[in-house]
A and B are shown apart, each in its own frame.
Chain A
Amino acid sequence: MVPALVATEFKPWILLESENLKVSSRFLADFFPPNTQPDFLLLVAKEAWRTIAIATAGTFLALLLAIPLTLISTRVLSISSLSGRVHHLPFVVRQLVRWILIIIRSVPELIWALVFVRVVGLGPAAGVLAIGLTYAGMLGKVYTEILESGDHHVSTNLMRNGSSRLQAFFYGVLPQNLTELTSYTVYRWECAIRASAVLGFVGAGGLGQQLDNSMRMFNGGEVATILIVFMLLVGLADLLSAWLRKILQ
C-alpha cells in the first residue's frame, strides 16, 4: 500500500493548503447557480437524448457481439464435456474467443473512439462503435463468468437427454441466470452513459461534447447543469435496473 501511495504521489493534505483552497472554492463557486436558461436547457435535453442514444446503440451493438461470443466461450454449454474432458477443437476455439474478448476490452473506449473518429469522422457514430467494441469484451467476459458460476444442473441434464446447446441455453441456462445477466447489462448501459461523456471530449458527440465546450468557456453554471443531468440519467438507469429485476423475479 505504501509503495502505491508513493508512486501515485498521493498527498491529500495539499488540498487543504490555503492557496489551493482558494482556487478550488473559486472553481466550485462558479458552478452556482446552474444555468437554467430555456434555450440552454433545450440544448442540454437534446444532447442528453443523444447521449442516451449513443449509450443504448453502443450497448446494443456490444450485446450483438457479446452473446454469440459468450455462447461459444462458455464451458457450460459444451456437449463434449458432458462425458468428462472437453475435446481439443472446442477447447482451442474457446480459448481463441477468450483471447478475442481480452483484446477488444483491453483497449480503452477512449482509444477506440480516437481511432473511429478518424475513420467515420466526428460525431456520435464513433462513440457508438467505441462503446460497442469495448463493452462487447466486458459483457462477453462477465456473461461467461455468470453462466459458469451458476447452477448447471438443468442445462447439463437437458443436454444429457439429447437437447442441443441452444435449446439447453434457452430452457436451462437463461431462466437460471436471467436476473443477474439483466442487471449486469443495465449496469453496463449506465456505464456507457458515463463513458459517452468522456468520449464527447474527443468529439464523439452527446452531452460530453457539450460539457467539453462549457469547460473550455469556463462556464461553471453550464457545467453544473450538465452534471446534474448526468446524475439524473444514472438515477434513471438505477430505477430501470430495479424495475427490470422486479418483473423478472
Chain B
Amino acid sequence: MQSQTTTRNDFGIELSDVTAQHPAASVSAPPAIQGLSLVIKPGEHVAIIGPSGSGKTSCLLVIAAALKVQSGNVALNHQSVWKLPTRKLQKLRSNLFYAPQTPPLPPRQRVITALLAAKLPGQSFFSSLMSLIYPRDIKGASEALMQFDLADKLWQRVDRLSGGERQRVGLARALLAPATIWLIDEPLSALDPTRARQAIESLITHAKEHGVTLITSLHQVDVATSQFPRVIGLRDGRLVFDLPSSEVSKELLADLYRQHEHELDQNTPVVLDSPPEPAPVKIIHCR
C-alpha cells in the first residue's frame, strides 16, 4: 500500500489572495471564495468551520485543484497548480484525496469495489481492470472498513447500506488512497454523535500515523475545536479567523455564526442513519 509506505509528506499548501467562483454559479453571484490566503504545512490537521454557504466546500475544492481560481495563486509543493499542463496536474491530483459530502459510491457496486476505487490513481489500467474481476487488496479494504466498524459490509452492495454506513464507507476510502493530503467535506453530516467521534478519531489517527495533511470542513464546532489543533473560520467566502483551536473563543464563534445561530446551537447532528432510499427508477426512452 502506497499510502502506508510514504510517511514522508512534503506537500505544503499555499493559497495567496485566491478568488474563485463555482462554474455553475451565475455570473452576477458573488465569488464563493474571495481574497483567501492560507498556508498549510505538510502533516497539519485543520478544520474549516462557518455557516452554510460560507465557502467551506469551495475552499476544499480550490485546494483539491478541482475548482479553478479566477485570481490569486494556489501552490502545492511549491508548484503553481494552474500553470501545470493537464497531464501533470492530473498526476498531482493523485496526491490529493477529496471526499465529497455525498460519498461517491455507485449504488449497484459492491462496497469492496467502491473502496478499492480510491486506490486507482496509483494503479495501471490493466491491474485496475483485473481488480474489478478479482479485488486486488481485500485485506487492505477490510482493514479500512474495520476502522469504521463496518467490516461485515465488505461484500455488500452499496445500495443495501444506510446513509450513515455509506458515509463511513466514503471515509474508509481515504485510508486506501495513495494521497498525502486529505480534503474531507462534512465527514460527519449523516452520523450520530458516537459514530461521528469514532469516525473522526479513526481519520485523525491514520492521518497522524502516515503524516497525512488532514483538512476537513465541519458543521460540528465542538468537534472542530476539540479534535483539531487549528481552526479556520469562513464567512461569505472570506477568512474570518485562522487560529489555534485553544484561541477560538465563544465570542468569535458567535460572530462567525451571526444570523445563523441555529447552526451553532444545533450541535447534535441530524441523524440520517435511516434505511436506504429506493434506487431511482430510470426511465428508458425509446430511441
State the A residues within 8 Å of B (CB).
79-80, 82-85, 87, 138, 142, 153-154, 156-164, 166-168, 170-172, 175-176, 178-180, 183-184, 248-249
Contact = CB atoms under 8 A, between A and B. Distances in A.
A94 to B, nearest CB: 15
Contacts of B123: 167
Nearest to B173: A161
Contacts of B214: none
Interface string B124-140: 01001100100000000
Query: Which of A79, A162, A175 is most buried by chain B, counting CB atoms within 10 A of its CB?
Result: A162
Query: Which of A85, A154, A160 is most buried by chain B, counting CB atoms within 10 A of its CB?
Result: A160
B121 A171 contact: no
A161 B118 contact: yes
Interface string B87-114: 0001111111110101011111100010
A167 B128 CA distance: 7
Given A142-B287, A176-B106, A249-B108, A164 B125 contact: yes
A80 B65 CA distance: 12
Contacts of A79: 86, 90
B108 A161 contact: no
A83 B97 contact: no
Contacts of A163: 94, 117, 120-121
A79 B92 CA distance: 13
DSSP class of A's interface residues: helix, strand, loop or mixed? helix
Contact of A83 (B65, B98, B105, B129): B65
B177 interface: yes
B240 interface: no
Interface in B138-184: 177, 179
B114 to A, nearest CB: 8
Given A161-B179, A162-B90, A166-B125, A171 B120 contact: yes
B282 interface: yes
Given A83-B66, A160-B93, A161-B97, A167 B86 contact: no
A158 B117 contact: yes
Contacts of A249: 108
Contacts of B121: 161-163
B140 to A, nearest CB: 16
B68 interface: yes
A156 B132 CA distance: 19
B67 interface: yes
Given A163-B121, A171-B128, A184-B284, A157 B106 contact: no
A148 to B, nearest CB: 14
A162 B67 CA distance: 14
B64 interface: yes
Interface of B: 23, 64-68, 82, 86, 90-98, 100, 102, 104-109, 113, 117-118, 120-121, 123, 125, 128-129, 132, 177, 179, 282, 284, 287
A173 to B, nearest CB: 9
Nearest to A81: B23
Closest 4 CB pairs of A and B: A162-B94, A162-B121, A157-B104, A175-B106
A16 B225 CA distance: 85
Contacts of B82: 83
A87 B113 CA distance: 32
B67 A83 contact: yes
Given A142-B287, A170-B129, A184-B287, A158 B120 contact: yes
Nearest to B87: A79
Contact of B96 (A142, A162, A166): A162
Nearest to A249: B108
B232 to A, nearest CB: 22
21 contacts: A80-B86, A84-B67, A87-B86, A157-B104, A160-B96, A160-B98, A161-B121, A162-B96, A162-B120, A162-B121, A163-B94, A163-B117, A164-B120, A167-B120, A170-B128, A170-B129, A171-B113, A171-B117, A171-B128, A171-B132, A176-B107
A167 B90 CA distance: 13
Nearest to B118: A161
Contact of A153 (B100, B109, B128): B100
A183 B283 CA distance: 12
Contacts of A180: 282, 284
A166 B98 CA distance: 19
B128 A161 contact: no
B282 A179 contact: yes
Contacts of A80: 86
B112 to A, nearest CB: 12
B233 to A, nearest CB: 26
B125 to A, nearest CB: 6
Nearest to B287: A142
Given A79-B90, A84-B23, A184-B284, 13 more contacts: A79-B86, A153-B102, A158-B104, A160-B98, A161-B93, A161-B98, A161-B177, A164-B125, A167-B123, A167-B128, A171-B109, A175-B106, A178-B108
